[in-house]
Amino acid sequence: MAGVFEVEVDGVEHDHGHGHHDEAQQIDLSQLSAEEKWRLEHARMHAKHKGHEAMHAEMVLILIVTLVLAQLLLVQWKQRHNKSYNLVTLFQMWVVPLYFTTKLHWWRFLITWFIFSAITAFVTFRATRKPLECTTPRLVYKWFLLLYKLSYTTGIVGYTVVMFTLFGINLIFRIKPEDAMDFGVSLLFYGLYYGVLGRDFAEMCADFMASTVGYYSASGMPTKHLSDSICAVCGQPILVDVSEEGIIENTYRLSCNHVFHEFCIRGWCIVGKKQTCPYCKEKVDLKRMFSNPWERPHVMYGQLLDWLRYLVAWQPVIIGLVQGINYILGLE
């Protein structure tokens, strides 16, 4: 079926079809290649927006001003009311991707999202109950530690695939570059997204459980006496000596001489993002405790998480706000 359109290229208006000009050439879009169709659409877009330079400049200015003001407001909100900022950001991190992926019919993400949400909701429910069951802390930290490891493994594999694709290694296996890149970027996104979301949920659960167990209060002063044979995170007895090699897990002693189950202290420090002793609040030297660099919540990783939170949680809101302002001013 012949497509008839009018487009202006290089200052000359070409009127295709309808017999407006005898010399005009009828163009059958079905006979054009994808690249030729793209060029025609590109030329038509330029012709449509010609003379709108001033309007585009205003839209860019509004975007820049809105981004700067939004960033300042978010920084002030985070500094003054950190708890509410974290809760709202966590909620948006959880919900915003659901909206876009449902709209785009990305079923694989939706399936993983619902599985993650169901398990995490159950674990979070257990962590916020009072009185706290004795098995809950270990359940919480085991789940989030497992999620942490899976997300990092997925992210590393995705990053490796992206790097291999950039260097052309995918051609050795006769994999198309676009397929390899899509696969790598998808894995990288899954790893980072669920890694950030899991750590934020774990931090919230850690605060609930620590205050419920009662070994420290909001003021930082312990409200219970800790026995040398009791783990301050889960409140359960420690059966393996620090110097012994455990079958399932080892026992860790911090620089303040308090001892903990391996799963508990790893969950507290790595997943729950707590860099202090759960009992006495003394600073924990994580570099000495964990030799694996991927397990250290170092500064660069924290900055990456903050950037990803901003990108996923707040960027769509800011872009929507900019589009609303442009609509009100009649710029769209």
- pTM of the predicted protein model: 0.64
Most confident of 10-14, 27-31, 111-115, 277-281: 111-115
Q: How does the average pLDDT of the chain come out, rounded?
A: 75
Q: 225-292 has which CATH code?
A: 3.30.40.10
pLDDT tens, residue by residue, 92-135:
888 888 888 898 888 999 999 999 999 999 999 988 888 777 77
Q: What integer pLDDT is reported at residue 293 of this predicted model?
A: 45
Q: What integer pLDDT is reported at residue 161 of this predicted model?
A: 93
Mean pLDDT of the region 159-177: 90
The helix/strand count (H/E) of the chain reads as 10, 4
Q: What integer pLDDT is reported at residue 186 of this predicted model?
A: 92
Rounded to 10 degrees, the C-alpha dihedral 62/63/68/72 comes to 90
Most confident of 93-97, 108-112, 261-265, 266-270: 108-112
Sign of CA dihedral 269, 272, 276, 281: negative
Q: What are the residues whose beta carbons fall under 8 Å from the beta carbon of 114, sequence distance 6 or more?
A: none
d(CA 25, CA 242) in angstroms, rounded, equals 85
Q: How many Å separate Cα 255 from the centre of its chain?
A: 33
Q: Where are the domains of the chain?
A: 54-216+293-329, 225-292
Q: What integer pLDDT is reported at residue 306 of this predicted model?
A: 64
